[in-house]
C-alpha cells in the first residue's frame, strides 16, 4: 500500500516537472510597455492579460468567442482575446481598454459612452469600446445600420444597444475619429 502511495506521489512530482518545462518565455507589448511572461503554451491572450498582467479591464464573458466582452486591438485590429493564444502575439502591439486614454484625457469613444449613458452594469463596455475603435479603423461604418451590423459581435446583457450606437455615431459625425490604435 505504502509503495502504491509513494508511486502516486512520484507521479505527481513528475507531472509538476513536465508542467514547469512547458512554460515558455513570452514577450508581449501591451499598451506601449514590454513584458516578459512565462506561460503555458495554451494560455489564452485574455488570461495572460487578466491573470498574469493584472489588466482586468478586458472582461471574460463566455470564454468561447460569442459575446465580445474580451475584445482588444492587435495592431489596430479587433479580436476576441479568449479565442487566441498569447504566444502568437510576441512583439505585436496590443491595446487594451487601459491603453486608450491619454493620461487624464479620455479617448473620444470613452467620453461619448459616458455622455450618451451607453452602459448600465458596464461589463461589456471595455469590449464595446475596443470593438468600436477597431470598427473605426476598418472604415466601413457609414450609417446607423452599419454600426449596428458591424458591432453585432458585441453583446450587451443590459441591452444598452441604442445608446452604444448613438455614442459611436457621434464620434463619427463630429469627426473625432481618433487615430488608429
Ligand atoms: S469572452 Fe471572448 S467572446 Fe466572450
Ligand atoms: S452594460 Fe451591462 S452588459 Fe452591457
Give pLDDT tens digits for 66-81.
Answer: 999 999 999 999 999 9
161 lines ligand 2 (CB under 6 A): no
> How big is the CA angle at 90 (ends 131 and 83), to the nearest 5 degrees?
45
Q: Is 162 in the same domain as 95? A: no
Residue written as grid cell 457609414: 142
Strand 24-30, strand 33-39: pairing: antiparallel
Q: Which CATH number characterizes residue 58's domain?
A: 3.10.20.30
User: Edge-to-edge, what's the strand order for the sheet holding 93-95?
Assistant: 33-39, 24-30, 93-95, 71-74, 77-80
Q: Is 95 in the same domain as 121? A: no
> How big is the CA angle at 94 (ends 89 and 98), to the nearest 5 degrees?
145
pLDDT digits (tens, 9 = 90+) for 14-57: 555 545 668 999 999 999 999 999 999 999 999 999 999 999 99
Q: Looking at the predicted structure, is the pLDDT value of residue 9 above 50?
A: no
Q: For residue 109, how far is its CA from the centre of ligand 1 (angstroms)?
A: 21
Determine the residue of 61, 67, 114, 122 to mutate for testing ligand 2's pocket, defined as the one with the most ligand atoms within 8 A of the Cβ atom: 122
The pLDDT assigned to 16 comes to 52
| Total residues found in the chain within this entry | 181
User: Does residue 93 sit within a domain?
Assistant: yes
pTM, 2 dp: 0.88
The pLDDT assigned to 150 comes to 98
Closest ligand 2 atom, residue 120 Cα: 1
Mean pLDDT of the chain: 91
156 lines ligand 2 (CB under 6 A): yes
Q: Is 112 in the same domain as 94? A: no
Range(s) of the domain holding residue 115:
108-173
Of 68, 99, 130, the domain-final residue: 99
Q: Is 28 in the same domain as 62? A: yes
Q: Is 140 in the same domain as 123? A: yes
Closest ligand 1 atom, residue 80 Cα: 2
User: Does residue 154 sit within a domain?
Assistant: yes
Q: Which ligand is nearest to the CA of 70?
A: 1
129 lines ligand 2 (CB under 6 A): no
The pLDDT assigned to 175 comes to 84
Q: How far is 151 from 160, CA to CA, in rounded Å?
A: 12
Q: Looking at the predicted structure, is the pLDDT value of residue 4 above 80?
A: no
Closest ligand 2 atom, residue 157 Cα: 3
Number of domains in the chain: 2
Q: Is 80 in the same domain as 112? A: no
Q: Which ranges in the chain belong to alpha helices (H)? A: 2-21, 45-47, 108-115, 125-138, 144-150, 161-173
User: Does residue 134 sit within a domain?
Assistant: yes
25 lines ligand 2 (CB under 6 A): no
Amino acid at each position: 500500500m505504502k509503495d502504491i502511495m509513494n508511486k502516486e506521489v512520484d507521479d505527481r512530482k513528475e507531472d509538476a516537472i513536465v508542467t514547469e518545462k512547458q512554460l515558455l518565455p513570452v514577450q508581449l507589448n501591451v499598451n506601449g510597455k514590454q513584458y516578459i511572461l512565462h506561460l503555458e503554451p495554451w494560455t489564452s491572450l485574455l488570461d495572460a492579460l487578466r491573470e498574469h498582467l493584472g489588466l482586468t479591464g478586458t472582461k471574460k464573458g463566455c470564454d468561447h468567442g460569442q459575446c465580445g466582452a474580451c475584445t482588444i486591438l492587435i495592431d489596430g485590429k479587433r479580436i476576441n482575446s479568449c479565442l487566441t493564444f498569447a504566444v502568437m502575439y510576441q512583439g505585436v502591439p496590443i491595446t487594451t481598454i487601459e491603453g486608450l486614454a491619454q493620461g487624464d484625457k479620455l479617448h473620444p469613444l470613452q467620453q461619448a459612452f459616458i455622455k450618451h449613458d451607453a452602459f448600465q452594469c458596464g461589463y461589456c463596455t471595455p469590449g464595446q469600446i475596443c470593438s468600436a475603435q477597431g470598427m473605426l479603423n476598418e472604415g466601413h461604418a457609414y450609417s446607423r445600420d452599419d454600426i449596428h451590423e458591424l458591432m453585432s459581435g458585441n453583446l450587451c446583457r443590459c441591452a444598452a444597444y441604442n445608446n452604444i450606437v448613438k455614442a459611436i455615431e457621434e464620434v463619427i459625425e463630429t469627426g473625432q475619429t481618433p487615430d488608429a490604435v
